[in-house]
């Protein structure tokens, strides 16, 4: 017994008998399925080679649509793809066709409706009247989230107490907070005082656990009524004469890292005397 690449079997006498026995009921009937089958069987013969090619059982049905084999007693092993399932009713097929035609229209309508809802939600936000607000732990990992977060911050024109703890913020220099008196930026990614928002009325400022290195930039806050500052766990907090240098930049400051201003913090730093000795290690 030999097979061709198309899947038909040649010179299979035993197969011919089984094929005839399996489809005898269909061949004897005068149904449309039987007529199409008889017409297609003659096309399966190869007169040029002189060898009669016996078709597979599934060849009788390969020219039929899947919904035409219903109620014909066809077995699964007689089909190329035996997973024949009941199809949708005609009403549903019609609705699917109409859905494909009008899908673009419905998509545009949904988009316009969504934009209108978002605009109405923004009008109801009323961020301008917030006086005390906590926006900590926002997990701003996506650029869209960060952009929307900045949009909210720009509308806080009356906020006086603002919490922005652990938001991975890097630069707030474009944010105006004209009425803010207390700002908590604990555990963010600020590396310079220049990255702070515009806070002309600030009185209490928390910048702990950031990346601020230079203390000289603190003079930028000298024109503000700042009296309490927290800089602990920043790189600048490990510099020599840390407290004295901070109070020299901010003379009106009263509390640094939770500790009130001490008399020794007001002692001016004296430059180190030049050493005339040489130490060889």
The whole-number average pLDDT for the span 248-263 is: 94
For 101-112, write each residue's pLDDT tens digit.
566 666 777 777
The whole-number average pLDDT for the span 85-111 is: 67
Confidence of residue 117 (pLDDT cuts 50, 70, 90): confident
Mean pLDDT of the chain: 75
Task: Identify the bridge partners of residue 229 per DSSP, sorted by sequence position.
Answer: 205, 256
pLDDT of residue 153 exceeding 70? yes
What pLDDT was estimated at residue 125? 74
Q: At 78, list the tokens.
A: 């007689």
- Extended beta strands in the chain, E state: 2-3, 9-10, 53-54, 132-134, 161-163, 182-184, 204-206, 228-230, 255-256, 259-260
What pLDDT was estimated at residue 3? 41
The whole-number average pLDDT for the span 2-29 is: 43
Confidence of residue 183 (pLDDT cuts 50, 70, 90): very high
What pLDDT was estimated at residue 5? 39
Confidence of residue 230 (pLDDT cuts 50, 70, 90): very high
Check if the beta carbon of residue 145 is closer than 8 Å to that of residue 171. no
Confidence of residue 238 (pLDDT cuts 50, 70, 90): very high
Give, as one character, the DSSP assignment of residue 176: B
The whole-number average pLDDT for the span 204-219 is: 95
Check if the beta carbon of residue 254 is closer than 8 Å to that of residue 261. yes
Lookup result for tokens 């009323």: 126
How much of the chain exceeds pLDDT 70, in percent?
56
Most confidently modeled range among 40-49, 111-120, 239-248: 239-248
Distance CA 236, CA 191 (A): 10
Check if the beta carbon of residue 128 is closer than 8 Å to that of residue 157. yes
CB atoms within 10 A of CB 196: 22
Task: Look up the pTM and report it.
Answer: 0.55
Tell me how many degrees the CA angle 81-84-85 measures, rounded to the nearest 5.
Answer: 150
The whole-number average pLDDT for the span 192-216 is: 96
For 165-179, write each residue's pLDDT tens digit.
999 999 999 999 999
Q: Which of 49-58, 83-92, 195-204, 214-223 has the lowest mean pLDDT?
A: 49-58
């Amino acid at each position: 017994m030999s097979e061709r690449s198309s899947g038909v079997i040649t010179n299979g006498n035993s197969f011919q008998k089984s094929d005839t026995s399996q489809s005898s009921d269909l061949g004897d009937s005068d149904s449309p399925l039987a007529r199409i089958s008889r017409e297609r069987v003659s096309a399966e013969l190869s007169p040029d080679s002189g060898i009669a090619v016996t078709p597979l059982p599934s060849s009788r049905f390969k020219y039929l649509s899947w919904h035409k084999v219903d109620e014909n007693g066809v077995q699964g092993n007689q089909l190329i793809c035996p997973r024949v399932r009941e199809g949708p009713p005609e009403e549903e097929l019609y609705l699917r066709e109409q859905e494909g035609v009008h899908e673009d229209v419905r998509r545009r309508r949904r988009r316009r409706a969504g934009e209108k809802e978002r605009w109405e939600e923004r009008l109801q936000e009323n961020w301008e009247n917030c006086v005390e607000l906590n926006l900590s732990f926002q997990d701003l990992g996506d650029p869209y989230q960060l952009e929307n977060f900045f949009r909210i911050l720009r509308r806080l024109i009356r906020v006086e107490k603002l919490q922005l703890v652990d938001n991975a913020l890097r630069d707030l220099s474009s944010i105006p907070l004209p009425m803010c008196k207390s700002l908590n930026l604990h555990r963010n990614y600020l590396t310079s005082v220049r990255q702070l928002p515009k806070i002309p009325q600030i009185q209490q400022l928390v910048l702990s656990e950031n990346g601020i290195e230079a203390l000289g930039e603190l003079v930028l806050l000298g024109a503000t009524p700042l009296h309490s500052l927290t800089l602990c766990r920043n790189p600048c907090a490990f510099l020599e004469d840390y407290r004295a240098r901070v109070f020299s930049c901010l003379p009106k400051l009263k509390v640094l890292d939770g500790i009130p201003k001490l008399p020794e913090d007001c002692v001016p730093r004296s430059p180190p005397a030049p050493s005339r000795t040489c130490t060889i290690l």
